[in-house]
A and B are shown apart, each in its own frame.
Chain A
């Protein structure tokens, strides 16, 4: 994955020597940068034991793990509901009745184009005025669903449209109705192709739960801020939490790309490489620029 088969060919002795020298030089330069950073941290007393000690206490770690739990809880709830909403919206956009199509289309385009933080503020500040009193958890989940439902709808839609037309035509020819065709033929096949894109979107959603911070939901980031303020170690507390995010998300991303590779091997059609608008998990395939370079979620425009 990290090799560059296209840009450099097998090296001769001189080339190898040059690469070796360059490796040593850049390696030294990178080590130098790291050393400068570490020295700077030490110089300002950020590597002192006292600064890190709170993070070794079980009570603090438990507090932060609780935050991680809240983050995962919000992400899971939002993902489940958003999948349902997204599926309905996708079917709406593909419906034969044009009012349904336009309504679903307008809904998707509006929520996809609005910054999530606005939706969260709207849900927490405006909804109570209309008599909808919920916990911060549900305000956050609601906003996440509104946003991610639209993005998932686009993933679902492009997944369904990526399927060969012959599939549904054959189903219709066999006398299946619209719903039978969808449920028995189209969706099972499309769903398989969409799995990697959905997992990548889950990573995005998980990252987005950190916006619950703004409306004081007790998720990971807010708890790290409280810890940082309490022990006067904001740098350590937030860096620690960033590491937790990286571990969780990196694992999920890995699963997504593993699934994608497997998928591509199994079906030559290829999985959807793009996760909507936010995260362009662009797939590096060799050759075909049209499929790699275009955001697939938007590709199937009506011609």
Chain B
């Protein structure tokens, strides 16, 4: 275990990058996911079709393929970002489809009377969504959104493939440098646990805080 303790600063650096990567892409995923979920339930057919197409294509493509496509493919059309920014964009887009699907199930779980009441008060569709339905939908989907977030922490490890210096990348290079892969990777696994456990606890707290008493 000495390998891990001696290189603790590398691990902490890696974890910091993982945290930045996860939070930034989750923020992006929440924004895109909310828009896509709204598009999928909107009364305008082209928006619904576009939303469905987006979700089905992105969700059925492996994340690593998307990362490679973005990083090595899109440079050819002049879309060039640093590895970190590329990873944030791709992770954000990929995760947004899961956010959108989760949110859509939350929207469907909001009682029909809520939207009906909002409409009869004369609210427009964006108002119905923004003021009445989405706030309630978000509250019901806190636990599954939490699972999406924790999955994202793990998925962020794929950024190491395009040389983002996250926890996995640091562990991989440390394993190669020290020739002690078992201890090094175990340390990294513990690192991910250290990130995931408090997140789970926090999600539980948020869940209790916003739970709708019925």
Contact = CB atoms under 8 A, between A and B. Distances in A.
Interface of A: 2-4, 6-9, 11, 19, 22-23, 26-27, 30, 40-41, 43-44, 46, 110, 113-118, 121-122, 125-126, 129-130, 203, 207-211, 213-214, 221, 225, 228, 234-235, 238-239, 241-242, 245-246, 249-250, 253, 274, 277-289, 292-295, 298
A139 to B, nearest CB: 12
B164 interface: no
A22 B45 CA distance: 9
Contacts of B144: 274, 280, 282, 293-295
Contact of B76 (A8, A23, A44, A282): A44
A146 B182 CA distance: 16
A30 B50 contact: yes
Contacts of A121: 168, 171-172, 175, 181, 185
Given A118-B171, A121-B172, A294-B143, A238 B65 contact: yes
27 contacts: A7-B41, A7-B125, A19-B43, A26-B46, A26-B50, A113-B192, A114-B189, A114-B193, A116-B157, A118-B185, A118-B188, A118-B189, A228-B72, A235-B73, A235-B74, A238-B68, A238-B69, A238-B73, A253-B56, A277-B151, A279-B98, A280-B101, A280-B151, A282-B104, A285-B105, A292-B108, A293-B106
A284 B40 CA distance: 12
B41 A250 contact: no
Interface in B55-102: 56-57, 59-66, 68-69, 72-74, 76-78, 98, 101-102
A245 B60 contact: yes
Contacts of A280: 98, 101-102, 144, 147-148, 151
Q: Identify the 8 closest CB pairs spanning chains A and B, nearest first.
A: A289-B109, A249-B60, A235-B73, A115-B157, A210-B62, A207-B62, A126-B181, A282-B105
Contacts, number: 215
A253 B57 CA distance: 12
Given A241-B65, A242-B61, A292 B116 contact: no
